[in-house]
Amino acid sequence: MNYAFLPDLSALAILIALFLLLRRRHPQQQADIWLLGLLITLVESSAHIFYNKHGMPGRSLHVIVIDCYLIAGAVFTWDAGNHPLPRRTRFLYLTLNALPLLAVNTLYGLHVYIPNAYYPAVAAGLLIAGASTLYLRRTWLVTMLHLAGWLVIGYLVYDHEFRKAVYWSLGAVYAVAAVKFQRRLPGKSTGRLAILTGFYIWALCFFVHPFIVTYRDYADIASHVWNMQKALISLGMILVMLEEQVSNNQWLALHDDLTGLPNRRSFEDHLNHTLERCRRRKGSLALLLLDLDGFKRINDSLGHQAGDQVLRAVANNLRGNLSAANTLARLGGDEFTLVATDLEDRRAVDYLLDAIREAVERPLSIDGQSLSVTASLGVAIYPDDADNATHLLRIADQRMYKLKQRPPFHSEAEFDILPSPSFD
């Protein structure tokens, strides 16, 4: 028994427990994958307690540790990627390419030092790497790097450098995970820094292990560095989850959770900033208020869930029809607003109103029923109608309610489709 690993193992277990508690409070699919990778790492660390202090470990323990290294690395690599391929396809790609490496690791863990035993796994790795990267990734660079990696493994096995073949391949797996995390995680994240530092140290430890193992004087230092990166990665993942939660809370504070549009607070800030910019540049601005007609009736007749579906559908249609330069927001209830800048003349305003009309009146399918939605709209122009946000909102609101005739929502199954609404 090697009890020297107990303090580091306990620290890792505590960090995983904290991560588990955080995941229960803020469940995420990413957190589930991270937790799986950390638990596999915990199994590997636990097996080290039963290692002999000197000499090679027992075969069963060695297989557990070596294979856990690879499986954990594959799990982290799976999560680190941000690839357009479907998740099932990516999973199949990663699994197929990991199987030959798993065979090589298992043979080494069993203390098999006969090159001929490794050659079938190396041949399978070359074949799978070439076929899968060409078929799924379609990039020659990745294909050549993958094939080169297997050729290096084959050469090291041929040269009886089994330890280098295994540990250098593991180092490559963790280096790939580090690079992918570096590309995917937010640049200003503190957790990202901890995760990248941990993975790069992990990869470096694998690369230098074949050399360090022959210098027993440095074994203790290497062991502490080895355990340090696990704590860094665990802490980094906890920090990333907390940072994402804070970011989500900030987003929710400025957005409507039903439609995903900016809310009233965000809209008012944007309107004031846009007006200041228009004053400096002597530009124009159109403020539009839109209120759905008869929305209470659809809530009463079909239920609030159907009403929520209508609001989401209208918001999506408006978002799809309007330019990204226009700021669309939901003020509350069935009321939306839009800020459009740099409208050259009345024709530009008319074009914008046509786009809104087409989006609002697009037929909706709600719980199997076809609905036609109408709306009333009020428009106020800066600087023609007013020169501040309060007056623009008041004028647009007055014009909207002047036109509002309160037509009810209709279902095609029960009523005739309403005529097009009037827009000002």
- Beta-carbon contacts of 305 under 8 Å, excluding residues fewer than 6 positions away, are none
At how many degrees (to 10) do helices 140-158 and 115-132 cross?
Answer: 180
pTM for the complete prediction?
0.66
Question: What is the Rg, in whole angstroms, of the alpha carbon atoms belonging to the chain?
Answer: 31
> What is the pLDDT averaged over residues 46-75?
83
Residues 234 and 269 in one domain: no
Q: Note the pLDDT tens digit of each residue in 69-107.
A: 999 999 998 887 666 667 788 888 889 999 999 999 999
> What is the pLDDT averaged over residues 347-360?
85
pLDDT at 69: 93
124: confidence class by pLDDT, cuts 50, 70, 90: very high
421 found inside a domain: no
Q: Note the pLDDT tens digit of each residue in 171-215.
A: 999 999 999 999 888 888 888 999 999 999 999 989 988 888 777
Instruction: State the chain's mean pLDDT as an integer.
Output: 83
pLDDT at 415: 27
pLDDT at 68: 93
pLDDT at 4: 67
Residues 242 and 273 in one domain: no
> What is the pLDDT averaged over residues 410-414?
35
Residues 287 and 194 in one domain: no
pLDDT at 217: 66
Residues 77 and 169 in one domain: yes
Distance CA 108, CA 21 (A): 37
> Residue 220: pLDDT above 70?
no
Of 254, 285, 307, the position where a domain reaches its end is 254
Residues 214 and 336 in one domain: no
417 found inside a domain: no
Residues 218 and 293 in one domain: no
Residue recorded with tokens 């200041």: 276
- Pairing mode of beta strands 364-366, 369-372: antiparallel
Residues 243 and 342 in one domain: no
Residues 280 and 320 in one domain: yes
424 found inside a domain: no
422 found inside a domain: no
For residue 210, cis peptide bond before it (omega within 30 degrees of 0): no
Domain count across the chain: 2
Residues 305 and 195 in one domain: no
pLDDT at 412: 35
Distance CA 305, CA 316 (A): 17
pLDDT at 417: 26
Residue recorded with tokens 């080895």: 226
Domain with 191 in it = 3-254
Of 234, 254, 274, the position where a domain reaches its end is 254
29 found inside a domain: yes
163 found inside a domain: yes
Residues 276 and 224 in one domain: no
> Residue 221: pLDDT above 90?
no
How far are the Cα atoms of 144, 214, 256 from residue 138, in angstroms, in the given order?
A: 11, 41, 40
186 found inside a domain: yes
365 found inside a domain: yes
> What is the pLDDT averaged over residues 286-292?
90
The four Cα atoms 103, 109, 112, 113 give a dihedral, to 10 degrees, of 100
Here the contacts of 356-360 (C-beta below 8 Å, separation 24 or greater) are 356/288, 356/290, 356/318, 356/321, 356/322, 356/423, 357/420, 357/421, 357/423, 358/321, 359/314, 359/317, 359/318, 359/320, 359/321, 359/322, 360/290, 360/292, 360/314, 360/317, 360/318, 360/421
Residues 164 and 28 in one domain: yes
Q: Which is more confidently placed, 276 or 301?
A: 276
C-alpha angle 338-343-349 in degrees, rounded to nearest 5: 65
> Residue 418: pLDDT above 50?
no
Q: Which is more confidently placed, 330 or 345?
A: 330
| pLDDT > 70 fraction of the chain, expressed in percent and rounded | 88
Of 303, 324, 307, nearest to 364 (Cα)? 307
The answer to whether 237 touches 19, Cβ cutoff 8 Å, is yes
Residues 201 and 268 in one domain: no
- Any idea what the CATH number is for the domain that residue 289 is in? 3.30.70.270
pLDDT at 167: 94
Of 220, 254, 288, the position where a domain reaches its end is 254
> Residue 38: pLDDT above 80?
yes
